[in-house]
Amino acid sequence: MTSPTSPPEGRYGGTSSRRSIWVIAVLSLVTFFSWVAWVMATDPTTGIEWVAYETTGGETTATMKFQITAPPGTPVTCALRSIDYAMSTNGWDVRSFPASDQLVSQYTATLRGVSEISGVDVFRCWRSGS
């Protein structure tokens, strides 16, 4: 005759160990989502978009027209770059733009490069410190 088996709680842990696992899981999720909210709230690029829509090139200079979408009243700084025919960056310019009452603002920039320029673009924009 075999001996009776122990109840499942004895083998797999009682309700207190299951409760501990749930508490740890919930605290981990709350911590993770709090961290995600903090990162999104402190990211200086949140809510800012940019589009370069017209470029004209020369030998070592190029002109670009672009627009920036940012919340009204937000000063923005952008890194602009020029690219040569080997697809390498050959010029940078960092420009600050004042806060605007409009959601979308349009700008024109002329960039100079160290060699012949095949294209220009807006590399990245972010909120200016203030």
The tokens describing 99, both together, are 């806060």
Name the residue with higher pLDDT: 34 or 4: 34
CA distance 4 to 7: 9
> Residue 78 has what pLDDT?
92
Structure pTM? 0.64
The ranges assigned to domains in the chain are 8-42, 49-127
Residues of the chain with pLDDT > 90, as a percent, come to 28
CA distance 114 to 96: 22
Domain 49-127 listed as CATH 3.90.1720: no
C-beta of residue 98 within 8 angstroms of C-beta of residue 128: no
CA distance 102 to 81: 25
C-beta of residue 51 within 8 angstroms of C-beta of residue 106: no
How does pLDDT run across 17-49, given as a tens digit for each residue? 778 889 999 999 999 999 988 887 777 777 777
From first CA to last CA, the distance across the chain in angstroms is 82
> Residue 34 has what pLDDT?
93
Residue 55 has pLDDT above 80, yes or no: no
C-beta of residue 66 within 8 angstroms of C-beta of residue 100: no
